[in-house]
Amino acid sequence: MKLKTGDNIIVTSGKEKGKKGKITKVYPVDLKVVVEGVNIRKRHKKPTKSGEKGQIIEKQSPIALGNVQLICSKCNKAVRVGYKMEGKNKTRICKKCGEET
């Protein structure tokens, strides 16, 4: 998985296309990520105690990894991610400008 928690991304397809945000959680087995401000669902909650009111709660849902791309910090564009080996260290690089991300 090439994306990590804290990366800035842009949504490339779906109803949230064009929105930008930061990754808050990663699910590598399911190939999904949770992005702040993207793919927000509304859940209706019934009252649990007598006298309490029901509420509508907004919750962030995961989005498929194939629908997002990393934003390069240098060129500020949606880019593909590559890897570069420097000795035993493996670093992520931008495929457009070659800068480390």
For the chain, how many helices (H) and strands (E)?
0, 10
Asked if the structure places residue 1 within a domain, the reply is no
Q: Which domain holds residue 87?
A: 8-48+56-94
Asked if the structure places residue 3 within a domain, the reply is no
- Answer yes or no: are the C-beta atoms of 75 and 99 closer than 8 Å: yes
Asked if the structure places residue 73 within a domain, the reply is yes
Entry pTM: 0.84
Dihedral sign (CA 24, 27, 28, 32)? negative
- Write the pLDDT tens digit of every residue in 28-60: 999 999 999 999 999 999 998 888 899 999 999
Q: How many domains does the chain divide into?
A: 1
- Write the pLDDT tens digit of every residue in 66-99: 999 999 999 999 999 999 998 999 999 999 988 8
